[in-house]
Amino acid sequence: MIYLGLNKKVILFGFIFTFFSCFGQSFFIGMFNPSIRGELNISQGQFGTIYAIATLCSSLILIWFGKKIDEYRLFFYAFTVILLLFISTLFFSSISNIYFLVIGIFLMRFSGQGLMIHTASTAISRYFEQSRGKALSTIWFGLSTAEFIMPVFITFMLSIYSWRLLWQGISALVIILLPLVIYFTIRSINFDSREENKKEVQTQQIKIKDWTRKEVIFDFKFYIITLTMQVMPMVATGTFVYQSFISESKSWGTYIFAQSFMFYSIASLITLVVSGFLVDKFSSRKLLPFINLPLIAALFLLTFFEHNYIAFIFLGLVGISNGLANVLGSSTWAEIYGVRYIGSIKALTTAIMVFSTALGTAIFGYLIDHQFTVEDIAFTCACYIIFVTILLLLFRKKFEPILLPN
């Protein structure tokens, strides 16, 4: 669904970039977990540790590389990201030992999950203002579409072709299609002139202070909000990377979990539509306390129930929180800290998000190797999220932006 009135070229660019980010996302890499572990003869915990180390390294470099989006034309920045994604997918197909696995996961997390998402969301946050919520929710349809299609498709393809051949095909798709996408969408677009300023020349906009990244780092509310926003990627990554462990523990079977991803993506899509309108109407700040409530419910379901249908409800609830997190995770920072330095700020928040996925993977892997059950892990996560939500509610009145005189 593309909202009328939005610049369709910019939206199409963001949609396709978020779709192609799926190759670096945990749900996608997690589908290759059994094949890779089988070839390299490593345990779930060892895979998780490698995944966490590689992801952590990618988050650190993302802080530096991500801020360059404020310094260069978006077209050239996006083309560089495409080249990195191509190299990453091609390298991933050649993994033959643990050291190559570390490098391969690092490259995919850096280029796929990190830079593809960062490039798309930063461009949209900068270009749109009055309709930022709807614009962000629309481009996130790209990733939700991938989450709907890919699990069943890849599960089926793995039954026919080797995992290495699939990654080679992905690399070819990246280098052939994506350069054409940016050439026909953002090559001639001036991102220094935002759409709403063109359309609403007679409307005097309320100006807010544009924070630099250094100022943001020393602002306490940044850390309160960050704790809330990083819960979803941390838990979701642990779930997706160890989906085979969860399926075996619950006796769900591989195809049950793959099919339940459809509920995840549908719930995420519906939430994206609704949250886009709600953000533009009420603001991201007012929606933040609700972001993790469906995730809490999902974790309690995982703790206390076993039946096959729970997989669909569980991932459906996770999808609702994911839809909220995708929109609020981009729009909140622009609302509070302005858009002048949003590239640098988003580079930091994206790096923290990537770091949280590394942390979730490492913790889940450690607990699994030390005989903790799915139920133990889910209940502990639910309690932690409740604590973080209460903390957010205590400070929610401090999240207003600093207004500047006209």
Whole-number pLDDT of residue 335:
87
Q: Residue 4: its pLDDT value, please?
A: 38
pTM: 0.77
11 exposed, middle or buried (CB, 10 Å; 0-12, 13-18, 19+)? buried
Residue 305, number of CB atoms within 10 A of its CB:
14
CB 30 within 8 A of CB 258: no
* Per-residue pLDDT, 260: 86
Tokens of 84: 């990195």
In angstroms, the CA 161 to CA 139 distance is 31
What is the three-class DSSP state of 178? Answer: helix
User: Tens place of pLDDT for every residue, the chain, 406 residues?
Assistant: 444 345 788 899 999 999 999 999 988 998 898 899 999 998 877 888 898 889 889 988 988 888 888 888 889 999 999 999 999 999 999 999 999 999 999 999 999 988 999 999 888 888 887 777 788 888 988 998 898 889 889 989 999 999 999 999 999 999 999 999 999 988 877 655 455 444 444 444 567 888 998 999 999 999 999 999 999 989 988 888 888 888 888 888 767 877 888 888 889 889 988 888 888 888 888 899 999 999 999 999 999 998 888 999 999 999 999 889 888 887 888 889 987 888 888 888 888 888 888 888 888 888 888 889 999 999 999 999 999 999 999 988 888 888 776 6
Give the start-to-end residue ranges of the domains of the chain.
Answer: 8-200+213-398
- Give the CATH fold of the 8-200+213-398 domain: Growth Hormone; Chain: A; (1.20.1250)
Residue in this structure with the two tokens 């949250």, named with its chain if needed? 275
Q: What pLDDT is attached to residue 52?
A: 84
For residue 339, give every residue at least 6 positions away whose Cβ sits within 8 Å of its Cβ, in sequence order, or none.
Answer: 125, 126, 129, 194, 210
- State residue 22's pLDDT score: 94
